[in-house]
Amino acid sequence: METDVILSVEGLVASFDTEAGRIRAVDDVGFRVRKGKTLGIVGESGCGKSVTALSIMRLLPKPSGVIEEGAVRLEDMDLLTLAREEMYHVRGKRIAMIFQEPMTALNPVHKIGKQMDEVFRIHFPEMANGQIREQTLSLFDRVGIADPGRRIHEYPHQISGGMRQRVMIAMALAGKPDVLIADEPTTALDVTIQAQILDLIRNLQDETGMAVIFITHDLGVIAQVCDDVVVMYAGKIAEKAGVQDLFHHPAHPYTKGLLLSIPRLDGPRKKKLNVISGMVPSLYELPQGCRFENRCPYAMAVCKSAYPKATRMNQGHTVCCYLYPRGH
């Protein structure tokens, strides 16, 4: 493994057992997260971003969610074969996660100070109570929570959504993780708060040198925070590239469509935004071939045959599309 890779996901297949049968929410997904860098996962809602993240943490809803295949390697340790007890030392300590809904992610009946202290109690059992409180207060201060001494005595319903997300971030930082997974951390927030939270995550990353997996459906956010990008579509990877490459030389028709659908300030006003027409295939009736085929302007006969294998465009840029013959 390359030395600068902290976390790698290989051939991940995650499924759910539903009333109507087993569905594959994530199919053969793989990527590498570099130390201290930010990997973005982008794709429309339902494409399997959260399932990928939860699989890394081994927190898929039980008993319906199962990881069928694949490996998740944190440095040299395969998390998927780890004993359950050992996983407790990974979660919150080596890999931390923050979620989309700050409104429901905190326990409504515990004070936020207590919920924060808990991380220290789990991972640093030798710390004294006073020390823990001190750390909690200083972390709250660091994530921009004003008047932390008063805040620790408040319940989640007493503070705003942005504030709660800051609490979540503080809790995630408490274990000094190597990797932070942020699953749409700003989607539920106002635009101004969004920008603040993005700034905060970026600054903290600079300070701590942690790697970040940043999940979003918003390419604008990707452009602001990511080094590498994975584009997902209907449970599959469509394209992987460095952020510059992706924005300047998108290869996959889906990526191109997404980029065209971002409003631009420098374009003509009132220009109609590009819309990718058609529907994402249902996970219950997935096509044999490329999953984007029914919406793709470049669809060819071969696209219906099987999901295209990855073609390497250049260093760190691969795409799964028949437009780009392999060995290119």
Partner 1 sequence: MAVYFFRRFLLIIPTFLGITIMVFVITRFVPGGPIERMIAQAQQMQSMPGGTGPMSAQDGRNQPLSEEQIEELKKYYGFDKPVMASYGLWLGKVLSGDLGVSTRYYDPVWEMIRERIPISLYFGFISMVMVYGVCIPLGIAKAVKHKTHFDNLSSIIVFIGYAIPGWVVGVLLLVLFASHWEVFPLGGMISDNFDSLGLFGKIKDLVRHTVLPVIAYVAGSFTVMTFLMKNTLMDNLSSDYVRTAMAKGLPFRKAVFRHALRNSLIPIATNFGHNISIILTGSFLIEKVFNINGMGLLGYESIVERDYPVVMGILVISSILLLIGNILSDICVAVVDPRVRFE
Ligand X SMILES: Nc1ncnc2c1ncn2[C@@H]1O[C@H](COP(=O)(O)OP(=O)(O)O)[C@@H](O)[C@H]1O
Is 168 strand, coil or helix?
A: helix
User: Closest CB to Mg ion among 173 and 188?
Assistant: 188
Give me 249's structure tokens.
């030389």
Does 49 participate in binding ligand X (rule CB under 6 A)? yes
Smallest distance from partner 1 to CB 230, Å: 21
The residues in 89-108 that bind partner 1, with binding defined as CB under 8 A, are: 89-93, 96-97, 99, 101, 104-108
Residue whose C-alpha is closest to residue 95's, from 8, 223, 217, 218: 8
One-letter amino acid of 300:
M
Residue whose C-alpha is closest to residue 134's, from 119, 117, 121: 117
- Helix (H) or strand (E) holding 53, with range, is helix 49-57
How many Å apart are CA 180 and CA 96, to the nearest integer? 5
* Cα-to-chain-centroid distance, residue 110: 27
Q: Which stretch binds partner 1 (CB under 8 A): 7-15, 118-126, 224-232, 241-249?
A: 118-126
Binding Mg ion (rule: CB under 5 A), the pick from 24, 37, 47, 50 is: 50
Asked whether the CA dihedral 60, 63, 68, 71 is positive or negative, the reply is positive
Smallest distance from Mg ion to CB 53, Å: 8
Smallest distance from Mg ion to CB 43, Å: 9
Count of Cβ atoms closer than 10 Å to residue 64 Cβ: 13
Q: Which stretch binds ligand X (CB under 6 A): 38-46, 109-117, 127-135, 171-179?
A: 38-46
Q: What is the DSSP string of 223-283?
A: HHH-SEEEEEETTEEEEEEEHHHHHHS--SHHHHHHHHTS--SSSPTTPPPP---S-PPPT
One-letter amino acid of 88:
Y
User: Closest CB to partner 1 among 174 and 290?
Assistant: 174
Smallest distance from ligand X to CB 232, Å: 7
Binding ligand X (rule: CB under 6 A), the pick from 7, 12, 25, 201 is: 25
Is 325 strand, coil or helix?
A: coil
Smallest distance from ligand X to CB 151, Å: 30
Write down the residue that tokens 């996959």 correspond to.
Answer: 252
Name the binder of 314 from ligand X, partner 1, Mg ion, none, CB < 5-8 A by kind: none
Q: Cis (ω within 30 of 0) for the bond into 63?
A: yes
Binding string, 279-308, against ligand X, x = CB under 6 A? ----x-------------------------
| 94 and 177 Cβ atoms separated by less than 8 Å | yes
Does 104 participate in binding ligand X (rule CB under 6 A)? no
User: Closest CB to partner 1 among 175 and 242?
Assistant: 175
Does 16 participate in binding ligand X (rule CB under 6 A)? yes
Give contact residues for Mg ion (rule: CB under 5 A).
50
Give contact residues for ligand X (rule: CB under 6 A).
16, 18, 25, 43, 45-51, 61, 64-65, 283
Give contact residues for partner 1 (rule: CB under 8 A).
57, 59, 61, 63, 85, 88-93, 96-97, 99, 101, 104-111, 118-119, 122-123, 155, 157, 168, 171, 175
